[in-house]
C-alpha cells in the first residue's frame, strides 16, 4: 500500500524533477532529492514528527505519508470506521473580495457562483480555452462578503498566476475585485463516521444543521476565527477546518485527545486509497490540462446556467462534447491478482490498446483491486470485460460504476 510513493501522490513532484522514487516489495524509498532544505514545511511539521509521521516530499512540501504506529491499511480502515485527522495545509487557500467577486470566479470556472447561498460551496474547475482542466477547487460563498477558495498544492503557482492575471484584467476594466492569499491559516481534514461527534464536542456551532458543502465561521477547541466546511476527500462524512497558524497544533492535539471517539493521524497513503475508493480524482493523474470535464465524468460540475450561457474558458469545446459526447470517458475498473498501477495498459479481448490506468491500488475496504482509466465509449458500459497489462501479464478486469464504495456525505437525511 505504499503505492502512493510510486505514482499516485507524487506525479506532480516527479514531473518537476524534485524527486525520483523506487520500490521493493512493501517498502518505498526516496532517491535523487536535490536538497531537503528546498522543501516547505506546514506549521504542523513538528506535530507529525512527534507523532511518528514518516515525512516525504510532496508538491514541494515535507508531508507525512504514514505514521509509525499505524499501518497504511489499518489507517485507511480506521477512517472508514471511526475518524482520521489529515494535514492539508499545503493546499492553497485564498479569499476573493469585492462586489464583482462572483463574476470574477465565473470568468475562470464552470460554476454558477452567483447562485451559491451564503455559507455554501461547490466543487468546480478552472478550465483553459481548449476545454482542459487547469485545476479542481472548492469555492464557498461566505456570509462575510468574500469567496473562500481552496485549490491544489501541486497547482499553486499556476493557480495564483491565473487568479492574479485575471484580477489585473478585471481591475483594468473598472471592475472591483481583490485577491487575498491566506498563508496565515493552516488547514486540516477530520474525516470518518465519528468526525461529527468528535468535532461537535469541540465546536461552538451546532453541526447537525451543517450540510455537505456548507460552511461556518466558529470557534474550535477554544480557538476563534476557524472556518469549518463539511466536505472532504474520502467519501466519508467529515470537515475541513481552516485555523490560524499559531493555533493549529493546539487544535490538532485537542482533536487527537478526544474522549468521544479514537482519532488517529492519517497520512498521504491512506488519503490516496480512500479517495480512489470514493471515485475522486487526483489532479495530475486522473485530470490534467489535456482532459475535459466531460471526458473526466465531471460534467455534473458544469452549472445549468453555464451550459445555457457558456462564456467560460473552453465553453465551445465543453458544450459541444456535452451534446455530441466525448470520444473517451473516465471509468472504474475492478480486478483481482496483481494490482494495476499507472500507466498500465488497458486492452480489449483482441489485445488492442484501449487506454491506460491513471490511478490504481488494492482496496483495503473491498479486498480487491480498484483503478480508473480513460476508455473509448465502446467500452465504458458497466460490466464490460477488458484486460490490464501488469508486468507483461494480462489481468482480467471489469468496468464498474463509481464510487467503488457507498459515499456517506451528510445531507441531514
**pLDDT, tens only, 20-46:** 233 323 333 333 344 456 899 999 999
* pLDDT tens, residue by residue, 178-228: 999 999 999 999 999 999 999 999 999 999 999 999 999 999 999 999 999
Q: Would you state the pLDDT for residue 12?
A: 37
Least confident of 1-5, 153-157, 291-295: 1-5
* pLDDT tens, residue by residue, 48-86: 999 999 999 999 999 999 999 889 999 999 999 999 999
% of residues, the chain, pLDDT over 70: 91
% of residues, the chain, pLDDT over 90: 90
pLDDT of 126 strictly over 50: yes
Q: Is 205 annotated as a binding residue?
A: no
* pLDDT tens, residue by residue, 299-337: 999 999 999 999 999 999 999 999 999 999 999 999 999
User: Measured between alpha carbons, how far is 193 from 1 in angstroms, rounded to an integer?
Assistant: 23
Q: Would you state the cell numbers that stand for residue 247, as one nine-digit string?
A: 493555533
Q: Would you state the pLDDT for residue 18?
A: 30
Place of cell 482480467: 396
User: Measured between alpha carbons, how far is 22 from 30 in angstroms, rounded to an integer?
Assistant: 7
Q: Would you state the pLDDT for residue 366?
A: 97
The architecture (CATH level 2) of 327-405 comes to Beta Barrel (2.40)
pLDDT of 147 strictly over 90: yes
Instruction: Determine how many CB atoms are found less than 10 A away from the CB of residue 373.
Output: 30
Contact 177, 170 (CB under 8 A): yes
pLDDT of 149 strictly over 70: yes
Place of cell 475522486: 280
Please give the residue that has the higher pLDDT: either 386 or 3: 386
Domain chopping of the chain, boundaries: 327-405
Residue among 286, 295, 298 nearest 110 (CA)? 298
pTM over 0.85: yes
Place of cell 462524512: 237
Note the residue count of the chain.
Answer: 413
Q: Would you state the pLDDT for residue 36?
A: 57
Q: Would you state the pLDDT for residue 302?
A: 98
User: Measured between alpha carbons, how far is 46 from 197 in angstroms, rounded to an integer?
Assistant: 27
Q: What is the DSSP letter of 285?
A: T
User: Measured between alpha carbons, how far is 85 from 370 in angstroms, rounded to an integer?
Assistant: 24
Sign of CA pseudo-dihedral 41, 43, 49, 55: negative
Q: Would you state the pLDDT for residue 412?
A: 87
Average pLDDT over residues 269-274: 98
Amino acid at each position: 500500500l505504499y503505492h502512493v510513493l510510486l505514482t499516485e501522490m507524487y506525479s506532480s513532484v516527479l514531473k518537476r524533477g524534485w524527486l525520483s522514487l523506487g520500490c521493493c516489495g512493501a517498502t518505498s524509498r526516496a532517491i535523487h532529492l536535490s536538497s531537503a532544505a528546498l522543501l516547505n514545511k506546514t506549521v504542523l511539521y513538528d506535530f507529525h514528527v512527534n507523532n511518528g509521521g514518516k515525512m516525504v516530499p510532496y508538491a514541494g512540501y515535507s508531508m507525512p505519508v504514514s505514521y509509525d504506529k499505524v499501518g497504511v491499511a489499518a489507517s485507511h480502515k480506521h477512517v472508514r470506521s471511526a475518524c482520521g485527522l489529515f494535514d492539508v495545509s499545503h493546499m492553497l487557500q485564498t479569499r476573493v473580495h469585492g462586489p464583482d467577486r462572483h463574476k470574477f470566479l465565473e470568468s475562470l470556472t464552470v460554476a454558477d457562483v452567483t447562485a451559491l447561498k451564503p455559507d455554501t460551496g461547490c466543487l468546480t474547475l478552472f478550465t483553459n480555452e481548449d476545454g482542459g482542466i487547469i485545476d479542481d477547487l472548492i469555492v464557498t460563498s461566505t456570509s462575510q462578503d468574500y469567496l473562500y477558495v481552496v485549490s491544489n498544492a501541486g497547482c499553486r503557482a499556476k493557480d495564483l498566476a491565473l487568479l492574479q492575471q485575471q484580477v489585473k484584467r478585471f481591475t483594468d476594466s473598472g471592475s472591483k475585485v481583490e485577491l487575498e492569499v491566506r498563508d496565515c491559516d493552516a488547514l486540516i481534514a477530520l474525516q470518518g463516521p465519528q468526525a461529527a461527534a468528535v468535532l461537535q464536542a469541540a465546536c461552538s456551532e451546532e453541526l447537525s444543521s451543517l450540510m455537505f458543502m456548507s460552511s461556518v465561521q466558529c470557534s474550535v477547541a477554544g480557538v476563534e476565527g476557524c472556518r469549518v466546511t463539511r466536505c472532504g476527500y474520502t467519501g466519508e462524512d467529515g470537515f475541513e477546518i481552516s485555523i490560524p497558524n499559531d493555533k493549529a497544533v493546539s487544535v490538532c492535539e485537542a482533536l487527537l485527545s478526544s474522549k468521544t471517539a479514537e482519532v488517529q493521524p492519517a497520512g498521504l497513503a491512506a488519503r490516496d486509497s480512500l479517495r480512489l475508493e470514493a471515485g475522486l480524482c487526483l489532479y495530475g493523474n486522473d485530470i490534467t490540462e489535456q482532459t475535459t470535464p466531460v471526458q473526466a465524468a465531471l460534467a455534473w460540475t458544469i452549472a445549468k446556467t453555464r451550459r445555457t450561457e457558456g462564456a467560460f474558458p473552453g465553453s465551445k469545446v465543453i458544450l459541444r462534447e456535452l451534446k455530441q459526447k466525448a470520444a473517451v470517458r473516465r471509468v472504474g475498473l475492478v480486478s483481482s491478482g496483481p494490482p494495476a498501477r499507472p500507466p498500465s495498459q488497458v486492452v480489449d479481448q483482441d489485445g488492442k490498446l484501449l487506454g491506460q490506468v491513471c490511478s490504481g491500488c488494492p482496496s483495503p475496504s473491498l479486498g480487491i483491486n480498484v483503478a480508473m482509466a480513460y476508455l473509448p465509449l465502446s467500452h465504458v458500459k458497466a460490466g464490460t470485460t477488458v484486460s490490464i497489462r501488469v508486468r507483461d501479464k494480462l489481468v482480467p478486469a471489469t468496468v464498474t460504476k463509481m464510487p467503488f464504495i457507498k459515499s456517506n456525505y451528510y445531507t441531514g437525511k
